[in-house]
Structure 1
């Protein structure tokens, strides 16, 4: 059992400096049940420890990844009866990073860096061919590069190595190629051969995209769903 006497006691003013969070934000997380109440001294002073800081950082990382407070609370206090609903909510958070449509114009290094990458990160993305330049000077990239980089940044913020994110992107591209070929061969080509009006073609294209986009998260959830004991172990580790 941990010796509470040996834990470093951190006052609120120091906690604010260490986490770059305001007193109001920290107290809000405590009030919402995301964090435990602080230890109080005989002088009615509140103190916190390093475990508290780690929980704060975990919460902030989830918030920056667009998870809601309710989702974070379920991550910290996992309820196995809500796995399907909770899993779908998380997938919806991820899907918000992947817009259905994007600009066709090429994007620049500055636009990619604005997502949250520095120069070194950008060079790594280029070297690993996660993004591929449209010119010899690496100044312009295809429009979809923004979506790819948002995806990679999401994984990096969660502590997942860039090489793993690249592997996942590769598999997603393989899946997208299969879907595209199936769509062209069995949906688009018959419509063109039948002289379907252009507006009707666009409607059918959008319906197909929306249906596939709606089904994939459900399949994804079913494939990655962990046994309850794995979630409990994650819950225990997150709350330490």
Structure 2
């Protein structure tokens, strides 16, 4: 398709599309001549992904570019954003650009390579070998970056913390994820169309992540208090964590 049709399909004007192209967030078009550019489904998907990231997650183009490289931003990102980020990376990869190179995380997180390999060994992420070096998906890079932030907060070898402790999340996430998937399909399959189901999932995911997060937080402090109480009976000098 030509630019005029691309504008119509995406609802985005050509000036904005050209900005996306210039910033490297949308792959370059196929060119059959010096002034003839052809666009396809990958361009439509990439443009729509950028627009959703801007509108639904209030991200700037600079923040989107940062996240696509696997680095973190100061802005809290909803889990729902990562499907769109993966879409952008997949189209970059199809344009002979790699996913997030593991070595690019080392500047911000010195232990990134070590942590990524540990997370890979316990089954949380996958590492891909490319011509440019070991690489991660955007989601996997974000998981490594999150542990890097945990290290900065003090969760490190000094307190015998390593990424291996995250293995406990594997079974828990699989259990919750499978239950949610089955429950959702049991309620909607055959009752609503695919587009409506997709819309519901987009709305529900961030809401239920917040819901579960609040329940976890409440459970954490309840168990901290209970465990401390048990230990105080045996060891009265143990201090209490502030709530």
TM-score by length of 1: 0.46
Q: Which has the larger radius of gyration?
A: 1
